[in-house]
């Protein structure tokens, strides 16, 4: 699904004036942006500063759901 979305995004951006393309340094993110960069004629610049955070067991939960499930406040973290 992610690959399909990346190709649709590339089609949507085709012909648009884009100066630069930045991407998380995560391998998955770099692979996702490839078709977009190809259409725009840009090499994506990976940046650690925009790298996603892996929340482990907390992933997919709203912060308000963490404390009841795991006994710790995500807000305190």
User: Could you read off the pLDDT of 15-47 as tens digits, one per residue?
Assistant: 999 999 999 998 889 999 999 999 999 999 999
**Tokens 């482990």, residue located:** 56
What is the value of pTM for the model shown? 0.67
Q: Helix, strand or coil for residue 23?
A: strand
The overall average pLDDT reported for the chain is 93
User: Phi and psi at residue 24, in whole multiples of 5°?
Assistant: -55, 150
Q: How many CB atoms lie within 10 A of CB 58?
A: 17
Q: How many CB atoms lie within 10 A of CB 46?
A: 17
Q: How many residues does the chain have?
A: 77
């Amino acid at each position: 699904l992610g690959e399909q979305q990346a190709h649709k995004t590339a089609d949507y951006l085709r012909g648009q004036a884009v100066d630069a393309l930045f991407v998380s340094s995560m391998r998955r993110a770099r692979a996702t942006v490839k078709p977009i960069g190809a259409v725009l004629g840009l090499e994506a610049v990976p940046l650690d500063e925009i790298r996603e955070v892996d929340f482990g067991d907390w992933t997919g939960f709203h912060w308000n759901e963490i404390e009841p499930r795991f006994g710790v406040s995500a807000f305190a973290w």
